[in-house]
Amino acid sequence: MRNMWIPLSLCLAALLIFNGCGGEQTGEPINFTIAATNGGLLVKLDWDAPDADEPDNYIIYFKEVGTTDWVEGATVESDVFTYTHDPDEATGDYRIAAVYGEDEFDSDILTTIPVHTGAVTIAELNAAGNSGYGWDMTDFMGSTYSMTQATNAPYVDFYVTDFAAGTATSNWYIASPDLGPSSVDSTVVPDGNWRTNRFSNPVTDPDAALPAFSATTYFNWTNNIEVDPTYIGVYLTDEEHYALVKFSGVNTGNGTIQAETWFQTVQGLRLIAH
């Protein structure tokens, strides 16, 4: 009689893990990924089946930036492992639920909400301070850098200048770092492997999708950033990521400006709502 407790204990353990001794095994979707599609306006979701029995179906959930509730979206058949979502230019969090009867088992949560870096001070190229700015491609946070050191070349994604000697009080530009050594400011910026990036004209709605990258929408410099505030779209040509820069707090006395940024971590996605 004593030996009967061993298989009974094993069955109870299986009950906790598999919803019953010898019953259905349940699990969450695995290998969940998101990517940009349709020119950077839609989000393509892909996943693999749970490492368990086949679920009844999958449910797509989306939580828009600035909200607290998950919204139940499309229901996908159990043999389909992809879905394209139109967020109507919004960003947010995504998860996939594998449905077994009345139970749901959630995937990881992935996001399209851009990474925000708070306002920092950037100096005009000939003013005292750091005039370069760049994003770390591991955590996507932004930092300022000196343009006077060639060792900073791999890290700078844009800089601020008036393309003139001294520090003018107006007509400032956001410029591609590779312009530094060959401009009138070449005595300030040394030769180096400075990056080549592109910038949009000022955008009027900072939560709207950024323009798609092309030679007629993004340029190696853009002026008129002295307006407070001014929003500029950025396209990193090597990494193919979009970002938004808000310039504000112009100080004509010491030649500085504030830069606040939002970086879209999903390659090629133009959605920047925050």
Q: Note the pLDDT tens digit of each residue in 76-91.
A: 999 999 999 999 999 9
Q: Where are the domains of the chain?
A: 25-111, 115-263
The count of other CB atoms within 10 Å of the CB of residue 274 is 15
User: pLDDT-derived band of residue 171, with 50, 70 and 90 as boundaries?
Assistant: confident
The beta-strand segments (E) located in the chain are 30-37, 42-48, 57-64, 71-77, 82-85, 92-100, 103-106, 110-111, 115-123, 132-135, 142-145, 158-161, 173-175, 198-202, 221-223, 230-236, 241-251, 256-263
Q: What is the reported pLDDT for 253? A: 82
For 31-54, letters b (16+ CB in 10 Å) and e give ebebebeeebbbbebebebbebbe
Q: In this model, does residue 4 exceed pLDDT 70?
A: no
Q: Note the pLDDT tens digit of each residue in 228-273.
A: 899 999 999 999 999 999 999 988 788 899 999 999 999 999 999 9
User: pLDDT-derived band of residue 10, with 50, 70 and 90 as boundaries?
Assistant: very low
- The CATH superfamily of 25-111 is Immunoglobulins (2.60.40.10)
Q: Which H helix or E strand runs over 12? A: helix 5-18
Q: In this model, does residue 224 exceed pLDDT 90?
A: no
Q: What is the reported pLDDT for 251? A: 86
